[in-house]
Amino acid sequence: MAGAKSALAAIAVLFLCQPAFSLWVQQLYVQAADLEGNPVERALVEVRFQNASAVSESDGSISGYTEPNGFFLANLSNIVPKDYEIRTFKVRVSTPYWEGEEKSGFANGTYTLLNFTVPVRLEKVVIWVVNSSNFGVENASVFLQDYGMLKRTGKRGTALFLLPSGLQFSGYAAHGNLSKSFSSDELRKGADGDFIKVQLPQAPLPSWQSKSGSGIVLRAVFFGQKGEILAGQAVRIFLEGNNSTVLTDESGAVEVRIPKAGAVLRLVAERNEYPYSFEFAVNKSAEERLTLGNLLKINSFTAKPESQNCYVLLANITDPRLHLPLDVRMSRHGPAAEAPLEVSLTPQGLFMGRICISSDTQVRLVAKNKYETAEEVVALAFVRPQPAKPASQAGNASWAQQGEKRESGFGGKEAGEAILSVLALGIVVAFLSVFIFGRRYLGRAIRFISEYLRQIFQRLEKKKPVPPPVQPPA
């Protein structure tokens, strides 16, 4: 019974909270085409939108590549309270041969289509894969390394690509354990357009790849930066003084037979202008999952106070591909439009920016090259200045600081002791007068003592320090 009541209470809370939140899902279609309207395959699409943070307009991100038909589909969602939701989003499309373009869209709760025109003209290029007898090889893998495109040949041994006119490219064709590289320098004119003929060699497997031997097999599966399977990835194999180049299969894997336990195997996969190298001492059959991950990294992004509410921003960014141009930007980050900051390079190789703030602020750091993007956000706390003390308080403080001096001078502690001594003396004199002179002199004695005390108090008042006048606050 208690459990049922708890469940009902939870449901009631959900219903009460529901009006305070906005939950919408937006279907986004992105189409990339060339100047003639031909679909652009493998164009990189990057989407940034508000997802769950009320203080950010781009905490959500989705990326991927266009299909052979030139389309990319994504589902955007937002769970931010309605008063803080931002329905605008940004989409950027780029290719290895085009720096790209960015457009903004608005989430209307149904679907949005954004069209991008890639400023090139695509031409048909046919890769024809044949065996040593000049017969077409069906189901051979053809991989264009520069564009990341992988296709399978048909019954005639051909694979069709749409590529930018006049640009250089290279790739591999593979079937089974046979492979052959090619480049755009081998293009020839044909009746149906340009083509490249790739003839696979006829050669026995190296001794270290034969089925005989130790029976040890290492299976290596390759993944990209976002965890995607890298089918058709070229992999160079170095083992026992031999080397060969193969392409990964549809599952992103290559298998290497090891001649003896303890043999050292090295696999090299080149991607995004960097040779990823992996080395193993193989003692038994195993599977290795290898990631060709991000190389551009933000190792640290810190803010150091320079003065009150002014900061120096320092970023340590590394990438082993020193030949690639690097774009580093810092900007004031928040729901409003982002304000860029000036970025410079220190002698120590750190990227530096400066900012002064008037409220709690976030600064966004974006480092980008032609292949990767890295981001970090640092929060800056605004310190409210303390109000200056009024002049009256300052004067009273100086008067209070003189208290010790007043205590040590006449009119302080010593003055009180003097008054008590005189008063005691007067009382003694009064009683003696009663007994010696009689009652007729008592009134005269009291008047004498009173007059004496009055004169003492007047002297004390004249010597007492006068505090400064109180000034009204400014």
The pLDDT of residue 449: 65
User: Residue 287: its pLDDT value, please?
Assistant: 93
Contact between residue 130 and residue 25 where contact means Cβ atoms under 8 Å apart: no
Gap between the Cα atoms of 128 and 304, Å rounded? 60
pLDDT at 355: 92
Give per-10-residue mean pLDDT for the chain (474 aa). Answer: 49 44 80 95 92 80 91 89 87 92 90 94 93 87 85 91 90 82 90 87 54 77 90 87 83 89 92 93 92 94 92 95 90 70 90 91 91 92 77 53 48 57 63 57 63 68 58 54
* 3-class DSSP state of 449: helix
Could you give phi then psi for residue 380, rounded to 5 degrees?
Answer: -115, 130
Buried b (16+ CB within 10 A) or exposed e, 80-95: beeeebebebebbbbb
> Can you give the pLDDT at residue 241?
82
pLDDT at residue 444, rounded to an integer: 63
Alpha carbons 125 and 162: distance in angstroms, whole number: 6
Q: Are 30 and 66 in contact (CB under 8 A)?
A: yes
Angstrom CA distances, 435 to 429, 430, 438, 441, 452, stand at: 10, 9, 6, 10, 22
* pLDDT value of position 462: 62
DSSP 8-state secondary structure symbol assigned to residue 364: E
In the chain, helix, strand, coil percent, each to 5? 20, 45, 35
Nearest 5°: phi and psi at 217?
-130, 130
**105 Cβ contact partners less than 8 Å away, ≥ 6 residues apart:** 28, 88, 89, 90, 91, 112, 114
pLDDT at position 269, please?
93
Tell me the C-alpha to C-alpha distance, in Å, between residue 34 and each of 37, 43, 69, 73, 98. Answer: 5, 11, 12, 19, 11
Q: How many CB atoms lie within 10 A of CB 185?
A: 9
pLDDT of residue 207: 47
Encoded tokens for 449: 């003592």
State the Cα–Cα distance between residues 321 and 63, nearest whole angstrom: 23
Whole-number Å distance between alpha carbons of 287 and 467: 90
C-alpha–C-alpha distance, residues 223 and 230, integer Å: 5
As a whole number of angstroms, the distance between CA 221 and CA 231 comes to 9
| Cα separation, 438 vs 46, whole angstroms | 117
The CA dihedral of 73, 77, 82, 87, to the nearest 10 degrees, is -30
Instruction: Name the amino acid, one letter, at 15.
Output: F
Q: Which of 146, 53, 136, 61 has the alpha carbon at shortest distance from 98?
A: 146
| Closest by Cα among 322, 238, 224 to 273 | 322
Residue whose tokens read 């903004």: 104
**pLDDT value of residue 70:** 94
- Please give the distance of CA 302 from its chain centroid, rounded to a whole number: 12
Q: Residue 8: which H helix or E strand, with range? A: helix 2-17
Sign of CA pseudo-dihedral 62, 75, 95, 147: positive
Res 72: pLDDT? 95
Distance CA 151, CA 149 (A): 7
Tokens of 380: 């800056």
Torsion of the alpha carbons at 226, 231, 235 and 237, rounded to the nearest 10? 110
